[in-house]
Amino acid sequence: MATDQQNRQAKSRHDYQPPAFLIPTIDLHFELDSAATIVSSVMQLRRQTAGAALKLDGQHLKLLQVLIDNKQLSDAQYDLSGESLTIPDVPDAFELKIVTQIAPVENTALEGLYMAGNSYCTQCEAEGFRRISYFLDRPDVLSEYRVTIKAAAASYPYLLSNGNKIAEHITADGSRIVQWHDPFPKPCYLFALVAGDYDLLEDNFITASGREVALQLFVDKGQAHRGDFALQALKRAMRWDEQRFNLEYDLDIYMVVATDFFNMGAMENKGLNVFNSKYVLAETATATDRDYFNIESIIGHEYFHNWTGNRVTCQDWFQLSLKEGLTVFRDQEFSADMGSATLCRIDAVKLIRTAQFAEDASPMAHPIRPESVLEMNNFYTVTVYDKGAEVIRMLQTILGKEGFAQGMALYLKRHDGQAATCDDFIRAMQDANRYDLSQFALWYSQSGTTQLTASQQYDAATQVLTLTLGQSTAATADQSVKKALLIPVRIELLLSGNEKQSHLLLLTEYDQVFSFNNISNEPVVVWLEHFSAPVKLQQQSSDDALLHIAAFATDGVARWDAIQQFWSRKVAEVIAGKNAQHVLPPKLFQMMQSWLRDPGDDKALIAELLSLPDFETLAEQYEQIPVDGILSALEQFRQIIADRLQSDFVSCYQQVPVSAYQYDEASVGNRRLRALCLGYIAFQHNSQQLLQAHYHQADNMSDTIAALMASQQAQTDTFKALLADFSQRWNSDVLVMDKAFGLAATQPSEQVFTSIEEMQSHPLFSWKNPNRVRALFSAFSMRNPRQFHSADGKGYQLLQYAVAKMDAINPQVAARLITPLLSWRRYDESRQQAMRNVLQVLADSSSLSNDVFEKVSRSLS
């Protein structure tokens, strides 16, 4: 590592101390100015710890004044070293006034108060409030906020903050002054301020108890027609939380602001959500089915945080999964109820099997409740969020839907208005159900992916079926010893004559045997039905049994899973040199053919059943990832399927009904299956016309993208022409151009390097906008395995260039970009060398952010 003057001190979960002072009220006053905003903060403080000095967090602040009980402090009375303001000698209860100056226009990190184009916007989670004013910037200090905002009235018609608006007026000199009051005490990470000129969409919602809530959605000028879907989704989410968990909204107004400058998806600030515009704005011509799905689920997610996150928040940031895992679980349940539950689950499983398993196997491995953190922003991870959601889902599987709901009710009743811990949550679930969850709680402290082994034995004479389960978890970068977890394993027994049985097995030991009597014939066992636990399954079942499950299991997820396992096995055989001819059983083709000929009602599921696993899923099944082997086996199998079922793909494509665009389950399924067929058809030489027709006849973005992707993956000449047309047509629409950037960056050919170069000089590309950078570079590094892992190391160098450039602008985004490089140890010798070289170049740079430093140093150590 380069010499390092900064103090980089990781924090440990076990070092938690309650705050030395509380701040029950805060009165904030903003005079907005892009280069010199003045922030006055008047707080009431109360001592909790005798003798302690007051130490407030602050970053990039210019301190103008400090007053205690209206008396200004001299420089000698406080200390401003490091990133804090320390006042050694303060009374037990007092008023503290602090005046600071900040420069939003210089804030390219997009944390704290920053400019989003001409608007002002904030992002305070996790530790952004300290860039606004000196404060106890930690989630267990809850305050009642009053906020006054002043800005030029003409340019800033809307000055927003949390809670209820209590006053608004325009001064003689043309300033607008607006005052807000949020009656619910909250940690500062939930504070928000927005100022700008927007199009406003309004609606209202009547809660179950009959209160009227005003709904307001603020979008960039000219975008109003793209806001309606999000607003309707919000109402569906509000109703759903009432019906499923008995939870009502609590303020009289709920505001959502969409901005194109945002580090993440969205933020649940109390009463004033801020969203990445990509997760709000949608119309048929610009948004895919996937976009609509994401909008509904993220609108739901942020709304559900109002209870799980805001009313009950986190004691410290190590507890992040308390609100995030739980809220992801809630949004998944919501999405499942709004559309295809099977497809939702398949998407969630894919994410765990790719990014989460990869994280567990990486130098950044951590439990869903991390133990040690240098930069908190690095822990907004698939482990905390999505494995966290799986842990909650397992609780529901074990306790039942009803028991789980009772646990939730007790948790919220006990901790409303508090900053709680994961242990508090477990305790509430345990108490409400009188169920001992002490072993289950290990899921919070243990990292890594557990391997589950499963086998069966049948004794025809006694009619006893014996199932044997085993678990083991390999050491991870952060933890060497692993205990046995409580793992809920749902199974289905497929007996002859269409007889089926369902069971829930609770595995608590390393090895355990389960016996079933009166089983009249040897069944095919569906293991881990519906992915009942986030583990890797090793099963003995034959190829035949897997295909049988794919055809007959009750659960659509299990059917998809079986065929995925089947393909993984085929790919592994080819890589091991055991099937050089890529031979596949006739039964497979018969089954695929029957699906194509008679897809039935669930066409989206059929499309999934006909898909090969993606590279990332397969990669996670190997300790050393055979990049070229996986890619080439996939390519071969894809071509074989495309050739063998050519006419079936064409006739299915023609038979699936096409109607004017609507976003509903059936139409989504139709489009998905047609796109799947098109994807295979594209591998035939004579497919150009069909691809062009699909593109030109599309009345919606899903079909447009389907044509582009099919022609891109099959490396047809058509692709270049279609992408040029697409980029031309949408060259002034940022959100759609992001799709063009993504398509350019995921071309499987070497052409990708030139295209990425060209796209960087596109008028809409900007290094200061995370959406643009992610569209180009995350797409390349995470969804273009062939070129990212290009044997000459060019892909790695390109990513290093992007990370270095981005780290100086926006460390949080830079640290996310770097992820695929961290696992360099899992590749072959020459790739290892090439990846390590670029990591070393980054490590040697003198000015790394904590964000990137934490990851690079863990990876190289």
Active-site residues, by number, are 302
Which range binds ligand ARG by CB under 6 A, 191-199, 265-273, 571-579, 843-851? 265-273
For residues 411 and 429, give the distance between their C-alpha atoms in angstroms, rounded to a whole number. Answer: 7
Residue of 220, 268, 291, 703 interacting with ligand ARG (CB under 6 A): 268
Q: Could you tell me which residues come within 8 angstroms of residue 609 by beta carbon, excluding any fewer than 6 positions away?
A: 550, 559, 560, 563, 592, 595
Q: Which residues partner with 469 through β-bridges?
A: 454, 512
**From the list Zn ion, ligand ARG, none, partner contacted by residue 267 (C-beta under 5 to 8 A by kind):** ligand ARG
Binding status of residue 261 toward ligand ARG by CB under 6 A: no
Token pair 């009463």 is at which residue?
271
Residue whose CB is less far from Zn ion, 182 or 386: 386
Q: Which residue is nearest to ligand ARG (CB)?
A: 380
Residue whose pair of structure tokens reads 């340019």 in the numeric block: 155
Interface residue with ligand ARG among 126, 467, 673, 678 (CB under 6 A) is: 126
Q: How far is the CB of 323 from ligand ARG (least distance, A)?
A: 7
DSSP notation for 428-470: HHHHHHT---TTTTHHHH--SPEEEEEEEEEETTTTEEEEEEE
Whichever of 327 and 800 has its CB closer to Zn ion, that residue is: 327
Min CB(218)–ligand ARG separation in Å: 18
d(CA 421, CA 363): 26
The string of DSSP letters for 251-269 reads: SSEEEEEEES--SSSEE--
Q: C-beta of 124: minimal distance to ligand ARG in Å?
A: 9
| Residues from 620 through 679 that contact ligand ARG (CB under 6 A) | none
Q: What separation in angstroms does the CA of 492 have from each of 430, 537, 588, 705, 742?
A: 27, 15, 22, 38, 40
- Provide the minimum distance between the beta carbon of 812 and ligand ARG in the complex, in angstroms, as a whole number: 6
Q: What does the alpha-carbon distance between residue 344 and residue 145 come to, in Å, rounded to a whole number?
A: 38
Tokens standing for residue 672: 């998905």
618 binds, among Zn ion, ligand ARG, none (CB under 5 to 8 A by kind): none
Provide the Cα torsion 456, 360, 821, 577; round to 10°: -10
CA atoms of 471 and 509, how far apart (whole Å): 8
| Subset of residues 322 to 381 that bind ligand ARG, contact rule: CB under 6 A | 324, 377, 380
Q: Name the residue nearer to ligand ARG (CB basis): 324 or 703.
A: 324
Interface with Zn ion in residues 198-227 (CB under 5 A):
none
Q: What share of the chain is helix, strand, coil (3-state, %, to 5)?
A: 45, 20, 35
Half-sphere exposure (Cβ direction) of 680: Cα atoms closer than 13 Å: 30
User: Least CB distance from residue 301 to ligand ARG, whole Å?
Assistant: 6
Binders in 306-325 for Zn ion, by CB under 5 A: 324
Q: Is 237 in the site for ligand ARG (CB under 6 A)?
A: no
* Nearest to ligand ARG of 137, 324 (CB atom): 324
User: Which one of ligand ARG, Zn ion, none is in contact with 620 (Cβ closer than 5 to 8 A by kind)?
Assistant: none
Laid out side by side, the sheet with 511-516 consists of 511-516, 464-473, 450-459, 536-539
Partner that binds at residue 109, options ligand ARG, Zn ion, none, CB closer than 5 to 8 Å by kind? none
CA 62 to centroid of chain Cα atoms: 35
Q: Which does 126 bind (CB under 5 to 8 A by kind): ligand ARG, Zn ion, none?
A: ligand ARG
Q: Are the CB atoms for 375 and 815 separated by under 8 Å? A: yes
Rounded least distance, CB 4 to ligand ARG, Å: 23
What amino acid occupies position 496? S
The residue (of 126 and 553) whose beta carbon lies closer to ligand ARG is 126
| 266 is an interface residue for ligand ARG by CB under 6 A | yes
266 binds, among Zn ion, ligand ARG, none (CB under 5 to 8 A by kind): ligand ARG
Q: What is the DSSP letter of 17?
A: -
**Binders of Zn ion in range 778-817 (CB under 5 A):** none
Among 145-153, 258-266, 568-576, 820-828, the segment contacting ligand ARG (CB under 6 A): 258-266
Q: Which of 264, 505, 563, 734 binds ligand ARG (CB under 6 A)?
A: 264
- Considering CB under 6 A, how many residues would be counted as binding ligand ARG? 12
CB of 225 to ligand ARG, least distance (A): 26
Number of other residues whose CB lies within 10 A of the CB of residue 107: 21
Tell which positions 604-623 bind ligand ARG, by CB under 6 A.
none
Number of residues near Zn ion (by CB under 5 A) = 2
Is residue 851 a contact residue for ligand ARG (CB under 6 A)? Answer: no
Listed ranges 67-75, 169-177, 260-268, 444-452: which one lies at the site for ligand ARG (CB under 6 A): 260-268
- Note whether 422 and 444 are within 8 A (CB): yes
Among 57, 83, 125, 703, binds ligand ARG (CB under 6 A): 125
C-beta of 264: minimal distance to ligand ARG in Å? 4
Q: What one-character DSSP code corresponds to residue 777? A: I
Region of 266-274, 444-452, 477-485, 792-800 interacting with ligand ARG (CB under 6 A): 266-274
Taking the C-alpha atoms of residue 32 and residue 103, their distance in angstroms, rounded to an integer, is: 10
Q: Give the nearer residue to ligand ARG in terms of CB position, either 302 or 390.
A: 302
Q: Quick one: 299 or 822, whose CB is closer to Zn ion?
A: 299
332 or 755, CB closer to Zn ion?
332
Q: Find the binding residues for Zn ion in span 327-366 (CB under 5 A).
A: 327
Nearer to ligand ARG, 302 or 424 (CB): 302
CB–CB of 764/734 below 8 Å?
yes
Burial level of 360, CB count in 10 A (0-12/13-18/19+)? buried
Interface with ligand ARG includes 302 (CB under 6 A)?
Answer: yes
Report yes or no: 10 and 373 within 8 Å, Cβ to Cβ: yes
664 CB neighbour count, 10 Å cutoff: 10
| Angle between helices 829-844 and 850-860 in degrees, nearest 10 | 140
Closest CA to 795 of 742, 844, 746: 746
Least distance from ligand ARG to the Cβ atom of residue 114, Å: 13
267 binds ligand ARG (CB under 6 A): yes
Find the part of the chain contacting ligand ARG (CB under 6 A) among 172-180, 209-217, 248-256, 262-270: 262-270
**265 or 470: whose CB is closer to ligand ARG?**
265
CB of 385 to ligand ARG, least distance (A): 7
The least CB distance from residue 840 to ligand ARG, in Å, is: 27
Q: Does 821 bind ligand ARG (CB under 6 A)?
A: no
Q: Count CB neighbours of 311 within 10 A.
A: 18
Q: How far apart are CA 491 and CA 498, in angstroms?
A: 16
Binding window for ligand ARG (CB under 6 A); candidates: 228-236, 264-272, 469-477, 673-681:
264-272
In the chain, the largest separation of any two C-alpha atoms, in whole Å, equals 96
Whichever of 188 and 563 has its CB closer to ligand ARG, that residue is: 188
Measured between alpha carbons, how far is residue 821 from residues 263, 454, 756, 782, 808 in Å? 21, 34, 19, 10, 19
Shortest Å distance, C-beta 343 to ligand ARG: 22
Nearest to 216 by CA among 232, 200, 233: 200
**Cβ 380 to ligand ARG, closest distance in Å?**
4
Question: Which partner in Zn ion, ligand ARG, none is near 24 (CB below 5 to 8 A by kind)?
Answer: none
Task: Compute CA distances 159 → 103, 392, 542, whole Å.
Answer: 18, 38, 64
Q: Which residues bind ligand ARG (CB under 6 A)?
A: 125-126, 264-268, 301-302, 324, 377, 380
Q: Which residues bind Zn ion (CB under 5 A)?
A: 324, 327
